[in-house]
Amino acid sequence: MMVLLPFNVRELERGGWLPNRLEELLIQGLYPPVHDRGMSPSTWYGNYVQTYLERDVRQLVNVRDLNAFEVFLRMCAGQCGQLLSLTGLANDCGITHNTARSWLSVLEASYVVRTLHPHYRNFSKRLMKSPKLYFLDPGLAAWLLGIRSADQLVGHPMRGPLFESWVFAELVKARCNRGDPPNLYFWRDRSGLEVDFLADLGVTLVPIEAKSGTTFVSEWLQPLQRWTALAGDSAGQAFVLFGGAEGARWKGIDAVPWRGIGKVLDAVGTGATAAR
């Protein structure tokens, strides 16, 4: 079965649609009509959500209260990039835990969200077991959060999670567009050490940190360095993908600006640059 996800960043580049500002990309998202038809993101996402609720949701599951489901959808956007707590979502929305689980499965079945599970390999540490929640398009998540302009996003507390969600979606597309399973995970132990994404390529694990900041900070390297020391020979080339304009290489780790994400996608999609 072929899964057709929104445009990837290279398709935007080929079409001449890739914005100059990261904030514009996160607001616009990557659904085709916003780019190839030049539709307003606010208008298109509003229509999309209404159509999704009235048609797709009713076909996938018997939701009696569409308003409650829309609240749930918006609450999920607020959980973007965080550890998933179905109990917390259920309590916030005034629904049961089982209903929250059922509704989340609807969002996953319709490719609105995807859960990212922790990597199973235990490097002699106690690991987190809860998954994280991501939207497969940052523009949709931004619209659900009420963010309507790039300027609003500059200092917004959800800027980082939306950037992380975009990176995650691009990694998923890089794998799925080749017909490969995503094989993406995150890693977090009980002491707080966390790596945003691990791409499991069989022989190697490619660790990736996503940081929306525009200026590279050397502290971003620490989780990758510590994880690499634990992983040993299974660790592939490590990357920090960030919101700046110029990349660098620090202590064997590639710091890649957001517009250069193709370098990371090549390593994840083909494994060609996975080895250190």
Residues 66-124 have pLDDT tens digits of 888 999 999 999 999 999 999 999 999 999 999 999 999 999 999 999 999 998 766 65
Each residue's pLDDT tens digit, 199-249: 999 889 999 999 999 999 999 999 999 999 989 999 999 999 999 999 989
pTM: 0.93
* Residue 195 tokens, joined: 């790596």
Select from 127, 43, 39, 26 the least CA-distant residue to 80: 26
- The whole-number pLDDT of residue 123 equals 62
Distance CA 174, CA 119 (A): 19
Burial class, 35, CB count within 10 angstroms (exposed 0-12 / middle 13-18 / buried 19+): buried
* CA distances, 22 to each of 28, 95, 159, 217, 264 (Å): 10, 36, 10, 18, 17
pLDDT band for position 272 (cuts 50, 70, 90): very low
* Residue 57 tokens, joined: 């949701």
CB atoms within 10 A of CB 257: 18
Residue 264: pLDDT over 90: yes
Q: Which residue has the higher pLDDT, 63 or 102?
A: 102
Mean pLDDT of 151-160: 96
* Residue 94 tokens, joined: 């005034």
CB 157 within 8 A of CB 188: no
Count of CA atoms in the C-beta half-sphere (13 A) of 40: 6
Helices (H) then strands (E): counts for the chain: 13, 8
Straight-line distance from the first to the last Cα atom of the chain, in angstroms, rounded to the nearest whole number: 34
- The whole-number pLDDT of residue 126 equals 58
